[in-house]
Amino acid sequence: MNWSPMVISLKTASVSIIITFFLGIFAAKLVVGMKSDKVRIVIDGVLTLPLVLPPTVLGFFILLILGVKRPLGKFLLDFFSVKIVFSWTATVVAAVVVSFPLMYRSARGAFEQVDKNLIMAGRTLGMSERMIFWRIIMPLALPGIASGGILAFARGLGEFGATAMVAGNIANKTRTLPLAIYAEVAAGNMEGSYGYVAVVVLISFIVLSLMNYFTIRGSKYTDKDDLK
């Protein structure tokens, strides 16, 4: 079995989750802090939209933005000699776009579940908003954020449609595990796909186990706070 798809997938998922993790937390904090409900609904809808759109549609929009004949893609190519489409970078972009809503929604839900009385108590004690966020909100929301991060990592690892459109299926370059499985099956080599499928199932099981661990840990933590 060629291990290149697994290496590419793990690299892609690892880099994308770093980007998605911080973007998701920032976006969730921004939306939760909005005063206007109407604005919050619109922004939340835009940020969550990739979750419900087909991956091929997301790939289409990425191509519209980063294609070499599009303004941004042409600018990057002409001035920085950077071609994103059909490169490994494109696999990261596709994974970030597809997995971002999962991280954002998880972080937002975790922030909204933090006891508002604790936040008010921090303000009463003269804590700054930044200190309240890092010393009160983040520690309490961490289990939910961690679960969202793990889920987003798994989503980035299993991305297929958008990756196929913007990165292609180039062996040893952009061929991730899902694309490798598709390539083997399309070639009629069912036996060749068994190893890739086994790896994906194993990683998915580990990811779900970790997510359940943080979910249970978070519920226990919340129960202890309620008893107090």
CA dihedral of 11, 50, 137, 37, whole degrees rounded to 10:
160
Across all residues in the chain, what is the average pLDDT?
89
Residue with token string 């004690």: 125
For 13-42, how does the pLDDT look when each residue is reduced to its tens digit (9 = 90+)? 999 999 999 999 999 999 998 988 899 999
Does 52 or 221 have the greater pLDDT score?
52
Contact 159, 95 (CB under 8 A): yes
Q: What pLDDT sits at residue 227?
A: 39
For 146-165, how does the pLDDT look when each residue is reduced to its tens digit (9 = 90+)? 889 999 999 999 999 999 99
Kindly report the pTM of this predicted structure: 0.88
For 163-196, how does the pLDDT look when each residue is reduced to its tens digit (9 = 90+)? 999 999 998 999 999 999 999 999 898 888 898 9
Domains of the chain, CATH where assigned: 4-223 (1.10.3720.10)
Nearest to 178 by CA among 162, 157, 150: 157
For 61-107, how does the pLDDT look when each residue is reduced to its tens digit (9 = 90+)? 999 999 888 889 889 988 888 899 999 999 999 999 999 999 999 99
Count CB atoms within 10 A of the CB of residue 163. Answer: 30
Rounded to a whole number, what is the distance in angstroms from the first to the last CA of the chain?
55
